[in-house]
Amino acid sequence: MIILSCHNVRVPFISAHSIYTVQTSIDLARLGETFFYANKGDERVSFKSLYGIDPTCLPSFHLRITRLPHKGLAGVEKRMMVLRDVRRFKGSSQVISYVTQVRPLRYLLFLKGLGFKIKIVLEVHSEREPWDSNLLKRVDGIIFTSKTLQDRLTERFSIPLEIPQRVFYHRVRKPLVREVPQPRSNKDSYCLGYI
């Protein structure tokens, strides 16, 4: 099994979404070869200290990080990396893509429409993404991060019951890093987090 994990996140980067998607993809790498596509993050932050693992210690986890700093160009670079890998794995019996946002989902659905055999599993994190019925009806499986989110989106977009669905609650297993990568300019300012 080959897993393509495509995200609009920066790596390494101190954000809940970045930490969550990397941790999930590391878990997936314990099931099969996993290729993680992300935007270039903060070079001052250590991957190991933030995500709890040195990526070289897990040979089935392959980082595909963009080199270009411009967001638009990085998106093009990331799509080209995905296309190159999809073409390389064309003869593989099972290629599964894991996505959490609309942009990578649209691109993978486009590739699927071109004839590439890809199963697409979508993990929905919020209602704020521009979901629509056409997108949600074309995936091979949906993971929701809460029962409420599942109920709302299933009703709103009439998601067919034939599409396998599961509720899998958000979790970040390791304590978040204690240090901020750069000193704050104002000692009276606050760092806010959320749970």
CATH number, domain with residue 87: 3.40.50.2000
Say which amino acid occupies 62: H
Give the helix ranges, DSSP H, for the chain. 16-29, 47-51, 71-88, 102-113, 133-136, 147-157
Task: Quote the pLDDT of residue 185.
Answer: 63
Structural domain contains residue 195: no
Task: Quote the pLDDT of residue 93.
Answer: 76
Task: Quote the pLDDT of residue 70.
Answer: 81
Structural domain contains residue 191: no
Question: 161: how many CB neighbours lie within 10 A of its CB?
Answer: 8
Number of domains in the chain: 1
Number of H helices, E strands in the chain: 6, 7
Q: How far apart are CA 5 and CA 35, in angstroms?
A: 6
Q: Which domain holds residue 52?
A: 2-167
Structural domain contains residue 183: no
Q: Which two tokens stand for residue 30?
A: 């314990």
pLDDT (tens digit per residue) in 137-150: 999 999 998 999 99
Structural domain contains residue 177: no
Structural domain contains residue 129: yes
Task: Tally the C-alpha atoms within 13 A of residue 148's C-alpha that lie toward its C-beta.
Answer: 3
Say which amino acid occupies 104: P
Phi and psi angles of residue 74, each rounded to the nearest 5 degrees, phi first: -65, -35
Structural domain contains residue 88: yes
Structural domain contains residue 60: yes
The answer to whether 136 touches 159, Cβ cutoff 8 Å, is yes
Residue-wise pLDDT tens for the chain (195 aa)? 999 999 989 999 998 889 889 999 999 999 999 999 999 999 899 999 899 889 999 999 999 999 987 888 999 999 999 999 999 998 787 899 999 999 999 999 999 999 999 999 999 988 999 999 999 999 999 999 899 999 999 999 999 989 999 998 866 565 555 554 555 566 666 666 655
Structural domain contains residue 58: yes
Q: How far apart are CA 163 and CA 165, in angstroms?
A: 6
DSSP symbol at 125: -
Say which amino acid occupies 143: I
